[in-house]
A and B are shown apart, each in its own frame.
Chain A
Amino acid sequence: KAGVTQTPRYLIKTRGQQVTLSCSPISGHRSVSWYQQTPGQGLQFLFEYFSETQRNKGNFPGRFSGRQFSNSRSEMNVSTLELGDSALYLCASSLGGVRGTSTDTQYFGPGTRLTVL
């Protein structure tokens, strides 16, 4: 079974540009969550999609948005990039989502490393 794939793996952009990251979950998984990880920081939750609907959202500005397609693939968009957006962006998939009471295992992709110059 193929794992979670993310494209591109590396990306360099300049301030003010926008970027779209893609995530393909494990076959059969309907939940996709996105996280931002900066050096020395824990993972920060961005949002979760389940069956094409955003089910939960973290505390990030509106410049960060996402969507999920009918095949469960998900995209994340960041508009008007800032230097502080440089980070590793991780996508995770699971069968039914990671609601607090669920013990579904999240499977993470390798991440997209975004550098904003």
Chain B
Amino acid sequence: KNQVEQSPQSLIILEGKNCTLQCNYTVSPFSNLRWYKQDTGRGPVSLTIMTFSENTKSNGRYTATLDADTKQSSLHITASQLSDSASYICVVGDSNYQLIWGAGTKLIIKP
């Protein structure tokens, strides 16, 4: 069964610190992996999209990595800011149509 699992479920860090969010998937055949940021009560915003051949992609202070062999991805946030408080969702696309959404990691940045 195609699944996307994210960890941790929630995370609290101090402003200015770095953090890494994890995504493990069992989607096959794999096509691409996306990370989204979703503020409370709003629609998700795309951060990165990676295909099979890409193993890292950055968007400002956000850096996503992909290991297609181990079926793992991570999202690293550098020098966190209060505005980074949100849910971060990992989404994996297969080669047919499906986009499989993870349940997300809720990140809280404390001053």
Residues of A within 8 A of B (CB): 4, 40-45, 55-56, 88, 90, 92, 98-103, 105-111, 113
Query: What does the 1/0 interface line of B1-34 toward A look like (CB < 8 Å)?
Result: 0001000000000000000000000000001100
Residues of B within 8 A of A (CB): 4, 31-32, 41-46, 49, 51, 89, 93-99, 101-104
Q: Report how far A92 CA is from B89 CA in the complex, Å.
A: 15
6 cross-chain pairs, A with B, having the tightest CB-CB distances, nearest first: A108-B43, A42-B101, A100-B93, A100-B31, A42-B103, A100-B94
- Decide if A42 touches B102 in the complex (CB within 8 Å): yes
- Decide if B32 touches A111 in the complex (CB within 8 Å): no
Q: A42-B102, A42-B104, A100-B31 are in contact. Are A88 and B41 (CB under 8 A)?
A: yes
Residues in chain B near residue A109, CB distance under 8 A: 43
Q: Report how far A12 CA is from B33 CA in the complex, Å.
A: 35
Q: A43-B44, A106-B46, A108-B44 are in contact. Are A100 and B104 (CB under 8 A)?
A: no
Q: A42-B103, A43-B89 are in contact. Are A100 and B98 (CB under 8 A)?
A: yes
- Decide if A98 touches B93 in the complex (CB within 8 Å): yes
